[in-house]
Structure 1
Amino acid sequence: MRTFIGIDFDIKVKNEIKAIQSIVRENSHKGRFKYMGNFHLTLKFLGDISENQVNIINEVLEKSAQGVGRFSLIVEKLGFFGGKGTIRTLWLGLGGELDSLNALYRNIEAGLGAWGFDKEKRPYTPHITIAQDLLLRTSFEELRKIVDLSRIPNIDVSEVSLIKSEQIQGKRVYTPISTFRLIGK
């Protein structure tokens, strides 16, 4: 089963991200836009895992969640990962209590690494993907000026989840397999 470890958002946050995404859509010729229900923050993409690995991952997540308390994030910028002629990935960059987020990320990486999971080679860049393969009608700088990120409320992070990603009737669907509360030390 295809999986990742992530943080889900409440409906108020998702609604405001959707409003930002609508502005992007209005200013684009084409693109693939994420479904509102799929807005999330990925901590680690796992890819295909076996049923046997779920217990190991859950053990790591439970221990990682015990080491980090609740924290808050803010959306602070609009950015993209490049492409040729199109924007490969348009995202919302995060700020706020990044020390706590990074501690959670490091705990998960170290815990899974001890079980033989590949460690990420690139630096962790926390972001929320809102569109892919995007061809804008306007310049990216113009788009950045008309998008008001301050309307997105703070993201209160209180749990982390192992999430299954599957294609159902042509639509990508994310379903939590297990969720662990951040309880700190």
Structure 2
Amino acid sequence: MRTFIAIELEEETKAQLAEVQAEAEKLCRRGNYTPKENFHLTLHFLGEVQEEDLDYLHEAIYETARRNRPFTMTIDKIGFFPRGNKGILWAGIERSNHLQRLFSTLEKSLEQQGFARERKGLSPHITLGREVESQRNFTDVQRGVRVEPMRVSVRSISLMESVRRGARLMYVPVFRQNLIGK
């Protein structure tokens, strides 16, 4: 199964992100836009894991949750990772010590369970589209799309499975753990 560990978003936040995405789409020629129900913040991409790995992943996620309490983060901008004349359109997260601590704790817990650390570190973003091509340049898209700061409550982390149903890609929670730290 193809998996990753993520922060799931509430429906209200997903709806606000869909509005930002729609505004950006008007300023772009084309793109493969993320369906609203798939919006999330990836903490650690695992890739293919076996059924026998699930207990170890559950333990790592539980240990992470035990050491982190709920917090709030803010989505406050859009950005673009260029890939030639196209790129990835994303919504960015304001710098957060709580989010960085959650990520660091997760990395240590995963390593203790035998999983490799995330090579790139944490670049907190929510993918709004892939293969996005702006009409002129991405700076115009950033200037043309107003992002009202969105406060997001982070109360849990989830092991997610990437599942394809026909042509549709869906992200399905395998299990979720509430943050319970002191």
1:90 is matched with 89
User: After the TM superposition, which segments of 4 or more aligned residues of structure 1 sit over 4 Å from their partners?
Assistant: none
Matched positions, count? 182
What does the per-residue CA deviation read over 1:107-153, in whole Å, with 9 as the maximum and x for residues that have no partner? 11111112221112223110000011111113222211221211x53
Give the alignment partner of residue 130 of structure 2, picking from 116, 129, 132.
132
Deviation at residue 45 of structure 1 after TM alignment: 0.5
* 1:119 is aligned to 2:120: no
1:25 is matched with 25
Structure 1 gaps of 5+ residues are: none
Q: Distance in 2 between matches of 1:10 and 1:114?
A: 30
Deviation at residue 44 of structure 1 after TM alignment: 0.4
Deviation at residue 165 of structure 1 after TM alignment: 0.5
Give the alignment partner of residue 100 of structure 1, picking from 98, 101, 107.
98
Q: Distance in 1 between matches of 2:85 and 2:4?
A: 29
Give the alignment partner of residue 161 of structure 1, picking from 144, 148, 158.
158
* TM-score (norm. length: structure 1): 0.94
Deviation at residue 33 of structure 1 after TM alignment: 0.2
Provide the aligned C-alpha RMSD in A: 1.2
What does the per-residue CA deviation read over 1:62-101, in whole Å, with 9 as the maximum and x for residues that have no partner? 11001111111111221111111112x11111016x1111
Q: Distance in 2 between matches of 1:116 and 1:123?
A: 18
* 1:109 is aligned to 2:107: yes
> What letter corresponds to residue 148 of structure 1 in structure 2?
R
Q: Distance in 1 between matches of 2:94 and 2:107?
A: 20
Identity of aligned residues (%): 29
1:46 is matched with 46
Range that drifts further, 34-43 or 78-87: 78-87
> What letter corresponds to residue 158 of structure 1 in structure 2?
R
Deviation at residue 11 of structure 1 after TM alignment: 0.8
What's the secondary structure of 1:121's corresponding residue?
coil
Q: Distance in 2 between matches of 1:4 and 1:141?
A: 31
Q: Does the CA-based 8 Å contact 1:69-1:182 persist in structure 2?
A: yes
Q: Does the CA-based 8 Å contact 1:40-1:128 persist in structure 2?
A: yes
Deviation at residue 35 of structure 1 after TM alignment: 0.5
Range that drifts further, 115-124 or 26-35: 115-124
Q: Does the CA-based 8 Å contact 2:80-2:138 persist in structure 1?
A: no
2:171 is matched with 174
Q: Does the CA-based 8 Å contact 1:12-1:153 persist in structure 2?
A: no
Q: Does the CA-based 8 Å contact 2:24-2:144 persist in structure 1?
A: no
